[in-house]
C-alpha cells in the first residue's frame, strides 16, 4: 500500500508527488493562458495550453487516487476480509506504482494515443511468426491497461504469421508508455518450423508515432500529396475485397507513405490515412529535433543482429532482457502475454 502525509503524496519504493509544486506551476501556466497577448505567438500559445492541460490531468489523476485510497481505508475498517475490497486495494496499489512516473510524461503528445507498427525482419516464416507474437504481446498489454486496440492494416505472412501490422491504440498516455518501444526486438527459440529442432534467431522491428489531436497543428499542403486507391487484400467481406476502397497516401517532400484498408469505405480509409500521416509527420519532426540536439532518439536501425533493444530468449533458458536498461525477467511467458510495464518504466526513468 501507499499513504499520504500533508499535501505530499508518498508512493511505493520512495516515489513521491508534490501537489504544491504542481499547483504552483499550473497557476503560472493559467496566468499565461489568460494573458491578453497569449496568441501573439501561436506556437508558444499551443505549448502553454498543452502543458497546462497535461498538468491538470496529472493533478486530477492523483487527487482521484487520494479519494479512492481514503474510501478504501474506511471500507477496510468495516470489513477487512471482503475480497472485492482487497482486490480494489491491490489494483490501486498497482496504479500508484505506475503513477510514480506520470510526471515524466511531459512532452506535448505523451498523453495521446498511438499508432504502433510491427514489421517482420529478414528470415521468412520465422520472422513473420515472431512479428505475430509481438503483435499479440502489445495487444495483451493494451488489454491489461483497458486501452482500445484497433487493427488499421495487416498483411499476412506467406505461410504463417504476419509481414506487418498497424495498430491504433487509444487511451490515456499510450504514446508516453510506448514511445521507448521503438527499435528491433530479437527472439531466440527452438524453431517450430524446423524439422531438425534447431535453435533459431528472428528479428522484428517496432515503430510508434503519436495519435495527435487538434491541439497539435500539422500543416499539410494538398500539392505535396499523392493519393492512390487500390483493392483491399485483407479479409472484411465482399465490399472490402471487391472495390478499390483501400487508400495509400504519399507525402512527397518526406517520402512518407501511409495506407489504410480496414475501414468500410474509401472515404473512411482516406480519413484514417490522413490522420496517420499527420501523426507520422509530427513524429518525424520530433526525431529531427532530437537528432539536431544529439538526443537518444535517432534513426531506426536495421532489423538485424546487434541493433536490437530487447532480447527474448526462450531456449536454452528463459530470459527477456532490455539491452538499454538491463532490466530482465525470467518469466518470458508473462512478458509475451503483455507484462511490459517494468521495461517501459525503466526506459522512462532513464
Residues 115 and 167: beta-carbon distance below 8 Å: yes
- Rounded CA-CA distance 209/193 in Å is 33
Residues 167 and 150: beta-carbon distance below 8 Å: yes
- Rounded CA-CA distance 218/239 in Å is 33
- Rounded CA-CA distance 102/158 in Å is 42
How many Cβ atoms are within 10 Å of 155's Cβ, its own excluded? Answer: 17
Tell me what pLDDT residue 303 has: 60
Query: CA angle, 265 as apex, 259 and 269 as ends, to 5°?
Result: 25
Tell me what pLDDT residue 215 has: 55
Tell me what pLDDT residue 154 has: 93
Does the model's pTM come out above 0.85? Answer: no
Tell me what pLDDT residue 337 has: 97
Tell me what pLDDT residue 245 has: 83
pLDDT digits (tens, 9 = 90+) for 181-239: 999 999 999 988 877 778 899 999 999 998 876 556 677 888 999 999 887 765 544 44
The architecture CATH gives domain 3-104: Up-down Bundle (1.20)
> Which part of the chain is CATH 3.30.70.1660?
107-350
How many CA atoms within 13 Å lie on the side-chain side of 173? 22
Tell me what pLDDT residue 298 has: 44
Tell me what pLDDT residue 302 has: 56
Tell me what pLDDT residue 304 has: 56
Q: Is 290 helix (H, G, I), strand (E, B) or coil?
A: helix
> Which part of the chain is CATH 1.20.58?
3-104
Tell me what pLDDT residue 84 has: 92
How far lies 198's CA from each of 110, 126, 316, 340, in Å?
A: 42, 12, 11, 28
Tell me what pLDDT residue 68 has: 92
- Rounded CA-CA distance 252/223 in Å is 9
Residue 168: strand pairing partners: 115, 150
Q: Which residues of the chain have pLDDT under 70?
A: 1-18, 213-217, 233-243, 289-306
- CATH class entry, domain 107-350: alpha beta
Tell me what pLDDT residue 214 has: 56
Amino acid at each position: 500500500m501507499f499513504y499520504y502525509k500533508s499535501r505530499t503524496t508518498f508512493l511505493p519504493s520512495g516515489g513521491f508527488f508534490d501537489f504544491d509544486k504542481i499547483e504552483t506551476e499550473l497557476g503560472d501556466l493559467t496566468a499565461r493562458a489568460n494573458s491578453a497577448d497569449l496568441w501573439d505567438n501561436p506556437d508558444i500559445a499551443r505549448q502553454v495550453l498543452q502543458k497546462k492541460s497535461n498538468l491538470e490531468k496529472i493533478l486530477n489523476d492523483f487527487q482521484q487516487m487520494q479519494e479512492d485510497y481514503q474510501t478504501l481505508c474506511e471500507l477496510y475498517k468495516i470489513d477487512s476480509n471482503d475480497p472485492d475490497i482487497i482486490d480494489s486495494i491491490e489494483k490501486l496499489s498497482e496504479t500508484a506504482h505506475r503513477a510514480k512516473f506520470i510526471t515524466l510524461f511531459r512532452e506535448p503528445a505523451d498523453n495521446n494515443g498511438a499508432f504502433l507498427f510491427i514489421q517482420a525482419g529478414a528470415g521468412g516464416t520465422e520472422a513473420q511468426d515472431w512479428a505475430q507474437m509481438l503483435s499479440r504481446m502489445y495487444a495483451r498489454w493494451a488489454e491489461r491497461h483497458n486501452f482500445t486496440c484497433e487493427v488499421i492494416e495487416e498483411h499476412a505472412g506467406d505461410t504463417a504469421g504476419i509481414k506487418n501490422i498497424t495498430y491504433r491504440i487509444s487511451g490515456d498516455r499510450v504514446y508516453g508508455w510506448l514511445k521507448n518501444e521503438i527499435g528491433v526486438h530479437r527472439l531466440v527459440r527452438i524453431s517450430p518450423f524446423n524439422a531438425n529442432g534447431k535453435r533459431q534467431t528472428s528479428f522484428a522491428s517496432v515503430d510508434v508515432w503519436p495519435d495527435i489531436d487538434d491541439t497539435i497543428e500539422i500543416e499539410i499542403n494538398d500539392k505535396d500529396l499523392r493519393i492512390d486507391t487500390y483493392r483491399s487484400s485483407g479479409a472484411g467481406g465482399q465490399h472490402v475485397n471487391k472495390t478499390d476502397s483501400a487508400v495509400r497516401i504519399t507525402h512527397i517532400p518526406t517520402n512518407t507513405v501511409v495506407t489504410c484498408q480496414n475501414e468500410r469505405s474509401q472515404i473512411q480509409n482516406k480519413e484514417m490515412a490522413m490522420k496517420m500521416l499527420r501523426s507520422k509527420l509530427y513524429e518525424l519532426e520530433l526525431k529531427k529535433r532530437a537528432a539536431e540536439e544529439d538526443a537518444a532518439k535517432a534513426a531506426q536501425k536495421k532489423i538485424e543482429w546487434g541493433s536490437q533493444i530487447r532480447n527474448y530468449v526462450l531456449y536454452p533458458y528463459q530470459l527477456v532482457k532490455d539491452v538499454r536498461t538491463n532490466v530482465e525477467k525470467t518469466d518470458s511467458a508473462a512478458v509475451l502475454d503483455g507484462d511490459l510495464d517494468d521495461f517501459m518504466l525503466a526506459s522512462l526513468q532513464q
